[in-house]
Chain A
Amino acid sequence: MGFVGNTFAIVKKDLLLELRAKEAISIMVFLSLLLLVVFNLSVEIDTENVSRLAPGILWVVFAFSGILGMGRTSLSERDDEAYLNIYFSSVNMESFYLAKVISNLLFLLLMEMFTIVSFVILFDYERLIFALAPLSLPLLLGSFGFSVVGTLFSFLSTGSRFGEIILPFLFLPVVVPILLGGVSSTDIILNGSGGDSPAKWLKILLVFDLLYFCISLILFRYIIEE
């Protein structure tokens, strides 16, 4: 099998595993639901301010639920040192990393869809559903960035003594540009703030994604090399 074949074989394995065990996705989905409830209890959200608060709440939920879920998927590779089987097989580490990024991206997108639907129901904010088409681009770019950094860092953290505890400390400061880009473009799309176009924020997301994807692809092999 070539690079693409290997990559998709691993993605398929991850999806199959997730379909049976439902570990990462259940962590993400329930945490995002819980966070929405906590937000509602701690911040008074009503029909007046919901559209102003929605971008921030959504992206904080995406980041936190996402990072915990991604920690879980790399932990399942660390269990019984399963990833070493891949390391010693003919699969190169770049295709392993790419596969992990793709499967994490899929889990993230699934969680985000679930969060958005829950948000609409819990906060009675139907506008979000109708804005889904223009929102898809920032969601896709933001999630890809989350996945690129999260996949790499979750492998770092699960190899350390502190485990997943350390993951938010590494992940959140680095993804600040994604949070800013995601929140701002979502805000522009939902509220049309100042007649701005979300294009420049999408550019930031794109630059971040490309930069971190290329560098992480090179760096990933140094984590596995035991």
Chain B
Amino acid sequence: MKKDRITKILLVLVLLMLPVNFYLIFQVAPTERIMGDVQRIFYLHVSLAISAYIGFGVLFVSSIMFLIKKNLYWDTLAYSAGEVGLMFSTLVLITGSFWARPVWNVWWTWDPRLVTMLILWFIYIGYFMLRKSISERLKKARYSAIIGILGFLDVPVVRLATKWWRSIHPRLSKEGGGLDPLMIKVMLFSLLTFVVFTIVIIIFRFRVAWAEERLYSILNEMEEYHE
């Protein structure tokens, strides 16, 4: 029950933080001189990207845990986090496109960060396709754990390879000095909000998924009993 209380506190916290975050982004943060209001997407875009990586990171760790422990609990956590990661990465690609159109004058460009996110997106689409194509529960968990592990390991290699290939993405760390201090504060708050938000929805998704898992196992037992 202690876990329940923590979840509730996090939920209340995130419900308070989200509106504040949007207020900060749209009202408090100064308008960027060159890009104008479009630049405000960037507070969401970067936060969403971090959220997506959290989702995939949790998937990666839970996949390893599943192969070690052989407990479906970990597999359930893995795909719950994977779904959240996939949703956020889709939003990253969409918000990025909205930003790129006015700023870079294109909807899409083959920049390392974009390509890495897109490739990851494809890897996790494959992950869920594979899950769908296997009906046996433990086999599904084992096979998808392998994709969960190998897919995530690809991130640094793809990133490095595409970086050598070409790059025009704005570099935050280097241009950080040029950002207005207020912008940095809004950015940090947005990041924090989305980290908590991601954790909360992974927890909620996991609880639904885990309830489903238990329900199915009870139904299976009942069927076996009747036979």
**Contact call A161/B133, Cβ cutoff below 8 A:** yes
Q: How many residues on the B side are at the interface (Cβ–Cβ under 8 A)?
A: 31
Chain A residues with CB under 8 Å of B69's CB are none
- Does more than half of chain B's interface fall in helix, strand or loop, or is it mixed? helix
Q: Report if A78 contacts B (CB, 8 A).
A: no
Stretch at the interface among A86-94, A102-110, A134-142, A170-178: A170-178
Distance between Cα atoms of A219 and B144 in the complex (Å): 11
Distance between Cα atoms of A216 and B150 in the complex (Å): 8
Chain A residues with CB under 8 Å of B142's CB are 222-223, 225
Distance between Cα atoms of A23 and B163 in the complex (Å): 39
Q: Report if B105 contacts A (CB, 8 A).
A: no
Q: What is the total of A-B residue contacts with beta carbons within 8 Å?
A: 91
Q: Report if B134 contacts A (CB, 8 A).
A: yes
- Minimum Cβ distance to chain B for residue A99 (Å): 19
- Minimum Cβ distance to chain B for residue A162 (Å): 4
Given contacts A160-B134, A177-B161, A212-B150, contact A166 B126 (CB under 8 A): yes
Q: Report if A152 contacts B (CB, 8 A).
A: yes
Q: Which of B129, B146, B151, B160 contacts A152 (CB 8 A)?
A: B146
**Contact call A174/B145, Cβ cutoff below 8 A:** no
- Minimum Cβ distance to chain A for residue B75 (Å): 12
Q: Report if B149 contacts A (CB, 8 A).
A: yes
Q: How many residues on the A side are at the interface (Cβ–Cβ under 8 A)?
A: 33
Given contact pairs A149-B150, A177-B160, A222-B145, enumerate 16 new A-B contacts (beta carbons under 8 Å). A159-B139, A160-B134, A161-B135, A166-B126, A169-B125, A169-B129, A173-B123, A173-B126, A174-B154, A177-B154, A180-B164, A181-B161, A204-B161, A204-B164, A223-B142, A225-B142
> Of residues 117 to 159 in B, which have CB atoms within 8 Å of A's CB atoms?
119-120, 122-123, 125-126, 129-130, 133-135, 139, 142-143, 145-147, 149-151, 153-154, 157-158
**Contact call B146/A222, Cβ cutoff below 8 A:** yes
Chain A residues with CB under 8 Å of B126's CB are 166, 169-170, 173
> Of residues 142 to 198 in A, which have CB atoms within 8 Å of B's CB atoms?
149, 152, 156-157, 159-162, 166, 169-170, 172-174, 176-177, 180-181, 184
**Contact call B165/A160, Cβ cutoff below 8 A:** no
Q: Which of A152, A166, A174, A222 contacts B130 (CB 8 A)?
A: A166
**Contact call A174/B151, Cβ cutoff below 8 A:** yes
- Does more than half of chain A's interface fall in helix, strand or loop, or is it mixed? helix
CB-based closest 10 A-B pairs: A162-B133, A160-B133, A173-B122, A177-B161, A169-B126, A161-B133, A180-B161, A170-B126, A177-B157, A173-B123
Name 21 A/B residue pairs within 8 A (Cβ), A-sorted. Answer: A160-B133, A166-B126, A166-B130, A169-B126, A173-B123, A176-B115, A176-B154, A176-B162, A177-B158, A180-B164, A180-B165, A184-B164, A200-B164, A201-B164, A204-B160, A204-B164, A212-B150, A219-B146, A222-B142, A222-B145, A223-B142
Q: Report if B67 contacts A (CB, 8 A).
A: yes
Given contacts A177-B157, A180-B162, contact A219 B130 (CB under 8 A): no
**Contact call A170/B130, Cβ cutoff below 8 A:** yes
Q: Report if A215 contacts B (CB, 8 A).
A: yes
